[in-house]
Amino acid sequence: MYSLARELLFKLSPETSHELSIDLIGAGGRLGLNGLFCPKPASLPVQVMGIDFPNPVGLAAGLDKNGDAIDGFAQLGFGFVEIGTVTPRPQPGNPKPRLFRLPQATAIINRMGFNNLGVDHLVERVKAAKYRGVLGINIGKNFDTPVERAVDDYLICLDKVYAHASYVTVNVSSPNTPGLRSLQFGDSLKQLLEALRQRQEDLAEQHGRRVPLAIKIAPDMTDEETAMVAVALVEAGMDAVIATNTTLGREGVEGLPFGDEAGGLSGAPVREKSTHTVRVLAGELGGRLPIIAAGGITEGAHAAEKIAAGASLVQIYSGFIYKGPALIREAVDAIAQAQRAGK
């Protein structure tokens, strides 16, 4: 059925079809209809960051940036839903067009630039949702906040979303906000992590609940850089790492229509890079911090591959656009099968 919907949706511009999909998934969620079209995935409970997940396959950040369709996405069978990236103030993002499909490569290039309605809107949407499952809230900085003041933006968002999130993701890896990725390195990273950890402690006391912090990283670092991030995360007492965001690389899309558009590339071409990053992290971390894997999962087997590389949970975005909700169940089944086979 999704192939028919996809045929219609792909006739529209990527951004129009994105907005329409969010509206439809949101409306289906309000009416409680989405579950009727999507057989529920098998139960495959897992505990990560002290949180119980009904299955290890989640929605990656960026699809529901404002939290407008939380119930709808949850009803499709995701084990967890991550909303955002949200910034302190609303912002329009980059000029359109800024979202490109590359169907020959099962890929997407985007330079959305954190278009979102701001953290206050998102918190209202979370409060209005009926969903009581695992909800990640992904936070970032406004494009016009100087990178030296980025910490302030993350803290504003953390304060506001803390009470409403199962975990909070700190996004330092979007390629579309100038300077953002520099926060993944050296003293900038250490200062950011220290400020976040301190605030997390204060908020935990205030709310009587410790909300885990996950840091989302890029697939474009050298192995040495990735290993250094891993060490910094452990030293700073972070709770998880999400690997990865989109890539600036263009391997696999050279010569394709839109292949040289600026922005982050996701989907099939980023799969190996992302899995490699997971492997490097897993080697360095040795189980001290859980890894949430995202990047290029377009088939169930790819989800199992991420778990085999050392991840505890996976997230999907581009694969969901190309394969639809059936991919959720397929991924859960593949992970369950690999576990049964002892892989």
Ligand X SMILES: Cc1cc2nc3c(=O)[nH]c(=O)nc-3n(C[C@H](O)[C@H](O)[C@H](O)COP(=O)(O)O)c2cc1C
Residue ranges of the binding site = 61-65, 85, 110-114, 138, 171, 176, 216, 244-246, 267, 296, 317-318
Q: Whole-number minimum distance, CB 125 to ligand X, in Å?
A: 15
Strand blocks (E) in the chain: 46-48, 51-53, 57-59, 80-86, 99-102, 107-110, 134-139, 167-171, 213-217, 240-243, 264-267, 291-294, 313-316
Residue number, nearest CB to ligand X: 62
In the β-sheet with 107-110, what is the strand arrangement from edge to edge? 99-102, 107-110, 264-267
Structure tokens at 106: 């099962």
Token pair of 343, please?
């892989």
Which residues sit opposite 139 in a β-bridge?
86, 170
* Cα angle value 85/146/221 (rounded, 5°): 60
Closest distance of CB 317 from ligand X, Å: 3
Which residue lies nearer to ligand X by CB, 30 or 48? Answer: 48
Using CA atoms, how far apart are residues 63 and 142, in angstroms rounded to an integer? 18
Nearer to ligand X, 243 or 282 (CB): 243
Which of 164/302 has CB closer to ligand X? 302
Nearest-approach distance from CB 59 to ligand X, in angstroms: 9
Polymer length of the chain? 343
Q: Considering the complex, state which of residue 69 and residue 316 has its C-beta at the smaller distance from ligand X.
A: 316
CB 122 within 8 A of CB 66: yes
d(Cα 293, Cα 280) in Å, to the nearest integer? 12
- C-alpha distances in Å from residue 216, one per residue of 42, 73, 91: 27, 21, 21
Residue 192 C-beta: closest distance to ligand X, Å: 15
Residues that bind ligand X (CB under 6 A): 60-62, 65, 85, 99, 108, 110, 112, 114, 138, 171, 174, 216, 245-246, 266-267, 270, 294-297, 316-319
Binding residues for FMN: 61-65, 85, 138, 171, 216, 244, 267, 296, 317-318
Residue 245 or 277 with smaller CB distance to ligand X: 245
| Residue 259 CB partners (closer than 8 Å, separation 6+) | 102, 105, 109, 250, 253
**How many CB atoms are located within 10 Å of the residue 63 CB?**
20
Task: Please give the annotated binding residues for substrate, written as ranges.
Answer: 65, 110-114, 171, 176, 245-246
Residue 173 is a catalytic residue: no
Among 21, 174, 266, 274, the one annotated catalytic: 174
Kindly tell me which of 65 and 164 has the beta carbon lying closer to ligand X: 65
Crossing angle for the helix pair 186-207 and 223-235, nearest 10 degrees? 30
Nearest distance from C-beta of residue 180 to ligand X, angstroms = 10
| CB 342 to ligand X: min, Å | 27
The residues annotated with a catalytic role in the active site are: 174
